[in-house]
């Protein structure tokens, strides 16, 4: 199925505009025992306050800092693939905020949210990478929870073919309101709305809200196996698939080393995982899957190809430390899948 | 030769105390053309002011931030090997300063220099990694040039078996004075003084001063081929070796893929390079060579073994991005060279 979309072909459109938490990651190698000692659930994201973040950081080893944030990673991936992408999310006017802002613009994404000039510092996520390459996250949301409807660049939202939301935003009342306002604007302009469920604990916190969204307001849903079974409170992936089928236009359900299943147009597409080298760090795997998927989707490619490009991008990012690809994703897509896009002309550039 | 040293065996001694610039690195992949376009000399370190640093950063791709600083990298390596090491250098009380302070303490090094509460921000080094894995550096010295004799923890300096200096400090008049004051204290307590020449351009800027130091005040000299030939204004490595021989107790001269030559006790020791995997990023190679060398040296091992441990640590750090080792160096030394040290007892810990 080639997804139908409304006013395509307009040069001033952006392929994907995402709203998310603007976060700088601190990647630290840690032993499993550290997770146990600190009551951390492997693979999950826990919210911490600034004091807890400082205490944890103080007991961790040396880190590597890199821009992160789930939806921001997706936007960076789309820009690296050659797509026109924009990001909305809030940093503070501090050094980490400057790093975040630089990095997302450096890959060619549009990012204009004004930094906060007072209040909490830029959000940080302590990412503990265990020897099995799994990542466990402790996030201090800082300035990113201050995102509210007034921060929204509605002109940019209106240009979005796909407006992409990370479920993590639901942890902030103001950010959630900002997204709902944005979704209305995007849809009024013929755009589609995509949601990533982000994390199983996040789903637990906001199940009712997510269920309502998926039924009425979301065109494309991204979730992994744990998240989708948590959403429908079922015990198996198969049951979750039956629950979600038909509730939104497209559902892309990822299953780590088992690949992914894409539901859409009445069909199911089983997508093989891609292995490009030893597993180093799973940080960003879901984000980059969404990037590949959405990039192919906004180019009008069939769902099978969307899933395969998602798998390829996820397969690349897990071979390196950190959630932003250090290789040329466009070249990778050309070499591995024979996919090629024209470079953006200057009139098309965001 | 097993180097003779003065009052060893005192539990309160530190193996190595280093004075250097306290820097956070921003690692960015760049093409050779970028170096040409910006007049940057490959492999070298250029000093930039804050405006130049901002302009360069703005035109570079997304980066990876990690603690750096030449002598600080050496101290981190020694601590990772199980040695007792301390660092003196100045950050500002900002986010990058907090990252630097955390990371050097997290590996077990002692670091107590009070952060500046006003003035320039923490030093940053833009490190451009080209496809050949070479690194080219643009350093904004920021708060680190504010180091002056008043910042010195003379109690820590007095405990040093080896006081280690990076040549880069000579770019700041105050820091240079601080080092000379520290060297006098260390020697008065029976410690030795080590100097790294840091960079060929740095040697050009301070040749007379370095020549005088090497002749009269330095026990151990670290330099690479380009630096040592620049110091003596000669055209070949062989000529430089003849010049430096006998001028200080030990000279460790590194030659990248040709290994290193260690001069000392009237002998020359040729050390083979160590290859542990594909070359990724040469940042920190010289710093980690010095770490391995000094760790073996302060354990009273012969110069051949000092050089071999230096080669091993350098060989490891070039297989990864960034100048601080992401693997357990003590385990690596045990596995590759059969070297083992007792863990520090709590009474020995710094």
Contacts B130 to A, Cβ<8 Å: none
**What pLDDT, on a 0 to 100 scale, did the predictor assign at position B301?**
96
Give the 3-state secondary structure of residue A297.
helix
B322/A contact by beta carbon, under 8 A: yes
Q: How far from chain centre, in Å, is Cα B178? A: 17
A8 has a pLDDT exceeding 50: no
Give the 3-state secondary structure of residue B240.
helix
Name the CATH code of domain B14-21+69-118+145-337 (choices 3.40.718.10, 3.40.50.300, 3.40.1190.20, 3.40.50.2300).
3.40.1190.20
Residues B294-319 have pLDDT tens digits of 999 999 999 999 999 999 999 999 99
**What pLDDT, on a 0 to 100 scale, did the predictor assign at position B176?**
83
This complex has an ipTM of: 0.90
Better-scored residue on pLDDT, A147 or B236: B236
Could you give the percent of chain B with pLDDT greater than 70? 94
Average pLDDT of the segment spanning A176-186: 88
A326/B contact by beta carbon, under 8 A: yes
B156 has a pLDDT exceeding 90: yes
A3 has a pLDDT exceeding 70: no
Q: What is the DSSP letter of A39?
A: T
Q: pLDDT class for B24, splitting at 50, 70, 90?
A: very high
Listed range (A320-334, A335-349, B34-48, B101-115) with the worst mean pLDDT? A335-349
Surface-to-core class of residue B339, CB atoms within 10 Å of its CB (0-12 exposed, 13-18 middle, 19+ buried): buried
* Closest partner CB to A65 (pick from B29, B65, B324): B65
Residues A72-104 have pLDDT tens digits of 999 999 999 999 999 999 999 999 999 999 999
Residues B72-83 have pLDDT tens digits of 999 999 999 999
Q: pLDDT class for B146, splitting at 50, 70, 90?
A: confident
- Which residue of B lies nearest to A131 if distances are taken between CA atoms? B327
Closest-CA distance of chain A to residue B103, Å: 4
Average pLDDT of the segment spanning B102-131: 96
**What pLDDT, on a 0 to 100 scale, did the predictor assign at position A104?**
98
Residues B162-221 have pLDDT tens digits of 999 999 989 888 888 888 889 999 999 999 999 999 999 999 999 999 999 999 789 999
β A135-140/A160-166 pair status: unpaired
Residues A240-255 have pLDDT tens digits of 999 999 999 999 999 9
Give the 3-state secondary structure of residue A192.
strand
The architecture (CATH level 2) of A14-22+70-119+145-337 comes to 3-Layer(aba) Sandwich (3.40)
Across the interface, do B106 and A62 touch by the CB < 8 Å criterion?
yes
Distance separating alpha carbons of residues A180 and B331, to the nearest angstrom: 53
Contacts B317 to A, Cβ<8 Å: none
B349 has a pLDDT exceeding 90: no
Q: First and final CA of chain B: distance in angstroms?
A: 28
- Beta bridge mates, B102: none
Listed range (A63-67, A258-262, B144-148) with the worst mean pLDDT? B144-148
> In this structure, what token pair is assigned to residue B239?
């000529």
**What pLDDT, on a 0 to 100 scale, did the predictor assign at position A268?**
97
B346 has a pLDDT exceeding 50: no
A80/B contact by beta carbon, under 8 A: no
Q: pLDDT class for A120, splitting at 50, 70, 90?
A: very high
> In this structure, what token pair is assigned to residue B16?
């190595």
A11 has a pLDDT exceeding 70: no
**What pLDDT, on a 0 to 100 scale, did the predictor assign at position B175?**
80
Provide the Cα torsion B237, B242, B246, B249; round to 10°.
10
Distances (CA, A) of A337 to A2, A216, A270, A310, A311: 18, 34, 16, 11, 11
Across the interface, do A326 and B29 touch by the CB < 8 Å criterion?
yes
Q: What is the pTM of this model?
A: 0.92
**What pLDDT, on a 0 to 100 scale, did the predictor assign at position A348?**
44
Across the interface, do B64 and A63 touch by the CB < 8 Å criterion?
no
Average pLDDT of the segment spanning A295-318: 98
A131/B contact by beta carbon, under 8 A: no
Average pLDDT of the segment spanning A277-292: 96
B340/A contact by beta carbon, under 8 A: no
**What pLDDT, on a 0 to 100 scale, did the predictor assign at position A147?**
82
**What pLDDT, on a 0 to 100 scale, did the predictor assign at position A343?**
61
Closest CA to A67 of A27, A19, A113, A29: A27
**What pLDDT, on a 0 to 100 scale, did the predictor assign at position B173?**
82
**What pLDDT, on a 0 to 100 scale, did the predictor assign at position B3?**
42
**What pLDDT, on a 0 to 100 scale, did the predictor assign at position A176?**
83
Contacts B25 to A, Cβ<8 Å: none
Give B246's contacts (C-beta < 8 A, 6+ positions apart).
none
Name the strand (E) or helix (H) holding B136.
strand B135-140
Name the strand (E) or helix (H) holding B268.
strand B267-271
> In this structure, what token pair is assigned to residue B252?
């460790």
A189 has a pLDDT exceeding 50: yes
Average pLDDT of the segment spanning B245-272: 96
* Closest partner CB to A64 (pick from B76, B107, B322): B322
Q: pLDDT class for B343, splitting at 50, 70, 90?
A: low
On average, the pLDDT of chain B sits at 92
B149 has a pLDDT exceeding 90: no
B4 has a pLDDT exceeding 90: no
Name the strand (E) or helix (H) holding A201.
helix A200-205
Distance separating alpha carbons of residues B194 and B214, to the nearest angstrom: 9
Average pLDDT of the segment spanning B132-150: 90
Closest CA to A27 of A223, A280, A254, A275: A280
β A160-166/A192-196 pair status: parallel
* Closest partner CB to A95 (pick from B96, B106, B322): B96
Q: What is the DSSP letter of A327?
A: S
**What pLDDT, on a 0 to 100 scale, did the predictor assign at position A113?**
94
Listed range (A35-49, A145-159, B11-25, B31-45) with the worst mean pLDDT? A145-159
């Amino acid at each position: 199925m080639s997804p139908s979309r409304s006013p395509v072909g307009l040069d001033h459109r952006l392929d994907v505009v995402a709203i998310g938490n603007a976060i700088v990651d601190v990647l630290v190698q840690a032993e499993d025992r550290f997770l146990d000692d600190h009551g951390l659930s492997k693979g999950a994201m826990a919210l911490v306050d600034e004091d807890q973040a400082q205490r944890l950081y103080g007991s961790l080893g040396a880190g590597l800092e890199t821009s992160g944030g789930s939806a921001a990673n997706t936007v960076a991936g789309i820009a690296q693939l050659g797509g026109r992408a924009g990001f909305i999310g809030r940093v503070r006017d501090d050094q980490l905020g400057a790093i975040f802002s630089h990095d997302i613009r450096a890959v060619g994404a549009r990012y204009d949210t004004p930094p906060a000039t007072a209040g909490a510092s830029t959000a940080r996520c302590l990412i503990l990478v265990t020897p099995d390459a799994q990542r466990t996250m402790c996030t201090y949301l800082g300035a990113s929870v201050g995102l509210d409807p007034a921060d929204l660049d509605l002109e940019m939202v209106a240009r979005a073919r796909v407006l992409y939301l990370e479920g993590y935003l639901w942890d902030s009342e103001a950010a959630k309101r900002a997204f709902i306002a944005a979704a209305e604007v995007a849809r009024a302009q013929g755009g589609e709305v995509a949601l990533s469920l982000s994390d199983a604990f996040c789903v637990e916190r906001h199940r009712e809200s997510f269920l309502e969204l998926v039924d009425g307001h979301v065109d494309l849903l991204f979730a992994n196996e744990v998240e989708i079974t948590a959403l429908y409170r079922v015990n198996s992936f198969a049951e979750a698939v039956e629950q979600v089928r038909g509730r939104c236009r497209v559902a892309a359900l990822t299953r780590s080393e088992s690949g992914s299943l894409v539901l859409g147009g009445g069909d199911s597409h089983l997508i093989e995982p891609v292995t490009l080298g030893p597993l180093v760090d799973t940080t960003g795997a879901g984000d980059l899957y969404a990037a590949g998927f959405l990039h192919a989707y906004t180019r009008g490619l069939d769902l099978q190809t969307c899933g395969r490009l998602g798998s390829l991008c996820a397969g690349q990012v897990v071979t390196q430390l950190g959630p932003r690809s250090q290789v040329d994703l466009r070249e990778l897509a050309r070499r591995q899948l024979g996919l090629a896009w024209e470079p953006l002309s200057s009139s098309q550039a965001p």
